[in-house]
Amino acid sequence: MGIAHCPEGRQIFARLTVQENLEMGAFLRADRNGVKEDLDRVLALFPRLRERLRQPGGTLSGGEQQMLAIGRALMSRPRILLLDEPSMGLAPILVQQIFRIIREINRQGTTLLLVEQNARLALAVASRGYVLETGRIRLEGPAKVLMESHEVRAAYLGG
């Protein structure tokens, strides 16, 4: 249906190689040339994965596993990519790198639905935001407006 999910906690196939994990993302696709193009695109977005194609996914660092999980989702060539807590458990420098790549994926034309507890980062990359509280939408609007909201700043941005 054109939707791919990159789950919280990465959920890669630890015993499969990086290449095999990426190929699993394209499992339902029959267009070999398109799959090759998308593999090249993923490896351009995540050059570190190219260096590790033959390495088992479970031996990668947390940041590399997050790159692999996003890359695997992209291999299905989604129109919408659901990202669940992509910064979870990552060092700050890797979080910045992952979010630069998330911006690039969106710039290349993939719509993103991002669930992220780091409100500052999420609102910085989003065009629209929703603030949930105990399962209900508490606030919504353009991300820039939410970023400047006194209520959001006090509760989520520390200011």
Cα 50 from Cα 42, distance rounded (Å): 9
Are residues 96 and 81 both part of a single domain? yes
Q: Do 32 and 87 share a structural domain?
A: yes
Are residues 90 and 131 both part of a single domain?
Answer: no
For residues 1, 140, 124 and 126, what is the CA-based torsion angle, rounded to 10 degrees? 20
Q: Are 90 and 98 in contact (CB under 8 A)?
A: yes
Specify whether 56 is located in the same domain as 132. Answer: no
96 lies in the same domain as 138? no
Task: Identify the domain containing residue 60 by its residue range.
Answer: 3-116
Stated pTM of the model: 0.90
pLDDT category at 159 given cuts 50, 70, 90 is low
How many structural domains comprise the chain?
2
102 shares its domain with 124? no
- Burial of residue 123, with CB atoms counted within 10 A of its CB: 0-12 exposed, 13-18 middle, 19 or more buried: buried
Instruction: Identify the CA nearest to 112 among candidates 93, 97, 100, 125.
Output: 125
pLDDT digits (tens, 9 = 90+) for 47-84: 999 999 999 999 999 999 999 999 999 999 999 999 99
